[in-house]
Amino acid sequence: MNIEKRLKRAKGQKLRFLVQLFFAGASIFTGWKFILFVHSLEKGKALVSRPPGVEAFLPLSGLVGLKYWVVAGIINTIHPAAIFLLLAFLLMGLLLKRGFCSWVCPFGFLSEYLWKLGERIFGKNIRLPRGLDYPLRSIKYLILGLFLWDILFGMNMDALAAFIYGPYNRAADIKMLLFFERISSFSFWVIMSFIVLSIPIKNFWCRYLCPYGALVGFLGLFSPMKIKRNPATCIDCNLCTEACPSSIKVHLAKTVHSDECNACFRCVDACPVPDTLDMKLGRKRVSPFAYALLLLALFFLVTGVARLTGYWHNSITRKEYKYIIKHIDDPEFSHRAGSR
């Protein structure tokens, strides 16, 4: 049986697809609601409330806010949801490996179905030679390192506060929307090139360029959950390695330690011998269903704490948003907004 047909029938992959669909749907709904919020404010009155979930796409604000919380003991109310959403995703990486990428992230979801499209069109995907693959994989860690160095070591408390409460961060969600609505020709073709490259090359953006993936992948190295293989019952069919979208040599490992492991369970579902390959927490087997429950519980626990403690909705008023929307193209915007 073709490996993809086998995986398509696997209950674990069907469950993962439903979880991916849930988060992708939530992202699309949140984006649509935010667009409606901004454009209705442009006309003078908001028809809907601003969705805090849009702050999932403000990782820089979340990271700066998280450090400010640690060093100053203050949870800022400019983009508080960004802090808690980032915290949820970091905890996922630390406890559940890189499952954020293969279960939650809408870009990971899109990327997966792009390379599956490529596999259907070309018969197989391109696997870059190790001499090229390893240097390219280091790019996402280099990008991540630059951000972490600048924020964690280059910003003192005053610099953190200036960024958080400054006009750039206050307008970050609006600027993000305008980036896509007024996308330049250069940016459009860069994004299109990533999409095109993701068709023949599995997870091109995620594997080589995404700093978020690098961060959760690094944390995943310390996760207590690991894919484990029983050499005594393994029949060396290599189906696990063939199924792995990250090109990990699963059939050669007793325990998979790679930072590229997305906890997608494809290798587990591809294995034809029961109790030979499993996700394990210590010696205890973790089923895809149990994994999904843990992932969703962690997400809703962290975001639930934000809601209950009043750190989910931001403190930027509609009046201020109207001002931001009206003057964001003004060359003097930053100066005037900062003095308001």
What residues does each domain of the chain span?
Answer: 3-102+155-185+223-338
Q: Which residues pair with 233 in a beta bridge?
A: none
How many residues in the chain?
Answer: 340
Q: φ, ψ for residue 2 (rounded to 5)?
A: -55, 135
In this predicted structure, what is the pLDDT of residue 339?
A: 44
Q: Which residues pair with 257 in a beta bridge?
A: none
Query: How far is it, in rounded angstroms, from Cα 93 to Cα 217?
Result: 7
DSSP letter assigned to residue 54 = G
Coil, strand or helix: which one is 227? Answer: strand
DSSP letter assigned to residue 201 = B
Query: How far is it, in rounded angstroms, from Cα 72 to Cα 30?
Result: 31
CA-to-CA separations, 233 to 158, 205, 216, 230, in angstroms, rounded? 59, 36, 32, 6
In this predicted structure, what is the pLDDT of residue 340?
A: 45
Structure tokens at 162: 């200036």
Local confidence pLDDT in tens for the 340 residues of the chain: 578 888 888 999 999 999 999 999 999 999 999 999 999 998 887 788 999 999 999 999 999 999 999 999 999 999 999 999 999 999 999 999 999 999 999 999 999 999 999 999 999 999 999 999 999 999 999 999 999 999 999 999 999 999 999 999 999 999 999 999 999 999 999 999 999 999 999 999 999 999 999 999 999 999 999 999 999 999 999 999 999 999 999 999 999 999 999 999 999 999 999 999 999 999 999 999 999 999 999 999 999 999 999 999 999 999 999 999 988 888 766 555 444 4
Q: Give the distance between the most distant pair of CA atoms in the chain.
A: 70
What end-to-end distance do the CA atoms of the chain give, in Å? 66
Among 195, 190, 34, 20, residue whose Cα is nearest residue 106: 20
Q: What order of strands is seen across the sheet that includes strand 277-281?
A: 225-229, 277-281, 284-285
In this predicted structure, what is the pLDDT of residue 338?
A: 45
CA-to-CA separations, 332 to 199, 263, 327, 336, in angstroms, rounded? 43, 48, 8, 6
What residue has token string 């790019």?
139
User: According to DSSP H, which parts of the chain are helical?
Assistant: 3-9, 11-42, 59-72, 80-96, 99, 106-122, 130-148, 157-165, 167-170, 172-181, 185-197, 204-208, 211-220, 239-243, 266-270, 288-308, 318-327, 333-338
Query: How far is it, in rounded angstroms, from Cα 329 to Cα 126?
Result: 43
Query: How far is it, in rounded angstroms, from Cα 94 to Cα 16?
Result: 19
Structure tokens at 103: 């279960």
User: According to DSSP H, which parts of 309-340 are helical?
Assistant: 318-327, 333-338
Query: How far is it, in rounded angstroms, from Cα 98 to Cα 90?
Result: 9
Q: Which residues pair with 126 in a beta bridge?
A: 201
In this predicted structure, what is the pLDDT of residue 3?
A: 82
In this predicted structure, what is the pLDDT of residue 332?
A: 63
Among 297, 95, 88, 115, residue whose Cα is nearest residue 212: 88
Structure tokens at 77: 């109310």
In this predicted structure, what is the pLDDT of residue 268?
A: 97
pLDDT in tens, 185-233: 999 999 999 999 999 999 999 999 999 999 999 999 999 999 999 999 9
Query: How far is it, in rounded angstroms, from Cα 57 to Cα 64?
Result: 14
In this predicted structure, what is the pLDDT of residue 179?
A: 95
Structure tokens at 250: 């699963």
